[in-house]
Amino acid sequence: MNKIVNNVVILGGGTAGWMTAAALSKVLSNVKVTLVESEQIGTIGVGEATIPTMQFFNGLLDLDSHTFLKHTRGTYKLGIQFENWAAQEHSYFHAFGSTGRSLWAAGFHDFWRKGLELGISDNFSAYNIEAVAAGANRFAQSKNGLNYAFHLDSSLYAKLLRSVAEKQGVTRIEGKVAKVNCDAGTGFISSLLLESGEHVAGDLFVDCSGFKGLLINETLKVPFNDYGQWLKCDRAWAVQTKTSNTPVPYTRSIAHESGWQWRIPLQHRMGNGIVYSSQYMDDDTARERLLSTVEGELITEPRLIGFKTGHREQLWHKNCVAIGLSGGFIEPLESTAIHLIQQGILRLIKLFPSQGIEQLDIDEFNKSGMSDYQQIRDFIVLHYCQTQRDDSDFWRYCKQMEIPESLQERMSLFRKTGRFIVRHEEIFVDSWLQVMIGQGLIPEKYHRIADEMQAHELKAFLDNIVSSHHRQVSALPEHQQYLTRYCQ
C-alpha cells in the first residue's frame, strides 16, 4: 500500500483522460504519466457546454479564454434558457453570476419578493446582468465584468489537451486493453495488458474509460449508486447541424413531454440533442422529434447514447481513481460533467499519494466526491419536481415522486420562509434562487428587513438596478462581433 507513486497510468483518451493527463503533467513534473486509448473504441464525443469553473482549469494550463475558444471554435455562455419547464410556453433564464444587490442581512430575493407583493417587481432575471446581456446577445470579457463559461467542440478540445499534455511529457499508447492484471495479495491493479501483447505497468491507475468503467467497475467491482428513481432520463440522441444564424451566448434547454432538448451554439455549427426517459418515449419517436425540430442541414448522422444516472460508491478504490463517466454521470441539464471531471482532478492533485496510498486520503477523496454528486443531483431534480406540468405520464411522475430529503428540506425552507442557506462548498449558490423562482417556487414570506424600505424607496432601488444593467449592456459589443475580433 505505501509504495511511492512515481508512475501514473490513465486509461482513456476522452475529455476526462486528456484533462487528467494535461493537469497531472503540468503540476507533477516528476511523476511519469502514460495514457492508453483506443481509436477503435473512440470517445463519447458529446459534452460541449460548461459552467464558469472551467476558467480555473484553463488557468491551470495557462490557456486564456480567447486562445481556448480559437482552438475549440467555441462561444461564450452566460447561462441557460429554460423553455417549457415550469409550464408549457413559459421560459426563464438561469444565468451565471448573482442577481440584484445584497442589502443588509437579507438577500436580494427578499426585497424582490416584497416588490412582487406591491406589484413593482420585474422578472427575477431582469436584475441579473448576465441574463440581460444574454437576452441582448451581447458580450465582452473584462475584469470584474460578466461571469461566463464556454460552449466548445469536444473533439477539438481533446486535440488541444492532447497537444498540451504531450508537450509536457505525457506518453500516449494507442491500443485496446484486453486484460487487467491485479496483485493476488492486495487486489491492486498492477498492469494493463493490451491486445498487442504490450504490458503497461503503473503505481496508480486513473480510470477514464467511459461509462463501462473498465477498471473501477469491471475489474474492481465497485457498486453503483443509482439515481434513476429521481432522474428518469436515460437516453439521448445527438446530432450536429450547420447554422447560418449568429451564435447566442447561452444554451437552450427546451422541455418536451418526456424529457428535454439541448441547443449548443458553436462558431461553426450547432450541437443538438434530445434527452428522454426510455420508460416514457421510444427511440424512434425521440429521433423523429429531434430531427423535426432542429434548424439547418445535418452535418452528422444522429447518434444514440444510453446512460445511467448516479455514481460509483467509491470514486477511489485501492490504487484506482475513477474520473469522468467511469465514476458517474448526472444528465447534462446543467452542464456539470466536465466540472465533475475537473473537481476529481484537482482533488487528486491535492491528495496525490506521493508517499504512498493512504486510506485516509482515499476516504477524503470519496467523501468530497460524493458530496459533489449529491449537490448536483438535488439541483437537477429541482428542475423536474417543481413544475406545473402535468400533460404527460412523465411529468405527472416527476411532480409526485418522493424527492431526496436534502432537497425537500431546502425547498420547504425557501417556500415557507424565503430563507436560502448556503452550505459548505456549494457548487451552485445564486443558481438555486434563480431556478427555484424560475420554476415557480415563490416564497410565502420575505425577511422583515425588507420592510425597512418604503414602497417608493424599494421601487427606486429595483428600477435603478434594471436601468443600470441596461445601460451597461448596451455599451457591450454583440457576441458575434466579440468572437470575430478575438476568438476566430
Ligand X SMILES: Cc1cc2nc3c(=O)[nH]c(=O)nc-3n(C[C@H](O)[C@H](O)[C@H](O)COP(=O)(O)OP(=O)(O)OC[C@H]3O[C@@H](n4cnc5c(N)ncnc54)[C@H](O)[C@@H]3O)c2cc1C
Among 233, 236, 381, 453, binds ligand X (CB under 6 A): 236
Residue 161: closest CA among 266, 46, 60: 60
Site string for ligand X, 247-276 (x = CB under 6 A): --------------------------x---
| Part of the chain binding ligand X (CB under 6 A), chosen from 335-343, 391-399, 401-409, 460-468 | 335-343
Among 8, 10, 12, 345, binds ligand X (CB under 6 A): 12
DSSP character string of 338-356: HHHHHHHHHHHHHT--TT-
Assess 15 for contact with ligand X (CB under 6 A): yes
| Residue 289 to residues 91, 265, 275, Cα–Cα distance (Å) | 20, 19, 11
Q: Determine contact, residues 402/384, Cβ cutoff 8 Å.
A: no
In the numeric block, which cell numbers belong to residue 467?
436601468
Assess 17 for contact with ligand X (CB under 6 A): yes
Query: 165 vs 473, which CB is nearer to ligand X?
Result: 165
CA-to-CA distance for 92 and 415, rounded, in angstroms? 19
Assess 27 for contact with ligand X (CB under 6 A): no
Among 140, 231, 338, 351, binds ligand X (CB under 6 A): 338
Among 25, 34, 43, 65, binds ligand X (CB under 6 A): 43
Among 41, 87, 291, 442, binds ligand X (CB under 6 A): 41
| Part of the chain binding ligand X (CB under 6 A), chosen from 164-172, 202-210, 381-389, 454-462 | 202-210
Query: 124 vs 394, which CB is nearer to ligand X?
Result: 394
| Part of the chain binding ligand X (CB under 6 A), chosen from 36-44, 119-127, 367-375, 402-410 | 36-44
CA-to-CA distance for 431 and 79, rounded, in angstroms? 10
Strands 316-317 and 270-276 come out as unpaired
Query: 99 vs 335, which CB is nearer to ligand X?
Result: 335
Query: 40 vs 142, which CB is nearer to ligand X?
Result: 40
Question: What residues from 44 to 103 belong to the interface with ligand X (CB under 6 A)?
Answer: 44, 46-50
Question: What residues from 214 to 233 belong to the interface with ligand X (CB under 6 A)?
Answer: 214
| Part of the chain binding ligand X (CB under 6 A), chosen from 38-46, 79-87, 108-116, 159-167 | 38-46
CA-to-CA distance for 79 and 98, rounded, in angstroms? 12
Assess 135 for contact with ligand X (CB under 6 A): no
Among 34, 65, 125, 335, binds ligand X (CB under 6 A): 335
In the numeric block, which cell numbers belong to residue 395?
411529468
- Asked whether the CA dihedral 61, 66, 68, 70 is positive or negative, the reply is negative
| Part of the chain binding ligand X (CB under 6 A), chosen from 128-136, 204-212, 292-300, 418-426 | 204-212
Of 77, 114, 232, 318, the active-site residue reads: 77
Strands 316-317 and 320-322 come out as antiparallel
Assess 173 for contact with ligand X (CB under 6 A): no
Strands 320-322 and 204-207 come out as parallel
Which amino acid, one-letter code, is at 25? S
- Asked whether the CA dihedral 443, 123, 233, 369 is positive or negative, the reply is negative
Site string for ligand X, 413-452 (x = CB under 6 A): ----------------------------------------
Q: What burial letters (b/e) apply to 356-393, b meaning 16+ CB within 10 Å?
A: ebeeebbeebbebbbbbbbbbbbbbbbbbbbbebeeee
70 part of the active site = no
Query: 114 vs 162, which CB is nearer to ligand X?
Result: 162
In the numeric block, which cell numbers belong to residue 488?
476566430
Helix, coil or strand: residue 287: helix
> Which parts of 61-119 are beta strand (E)?
75-77, 79-83, 91-95
Residues that bind ligand X (CB under 6 A): 11-17, 36-38, 41-44, 46-50, 154, 176-177, 208-210, 214, 236, 238, 273, 305, 307, 324-325, 332, 335, 337-338
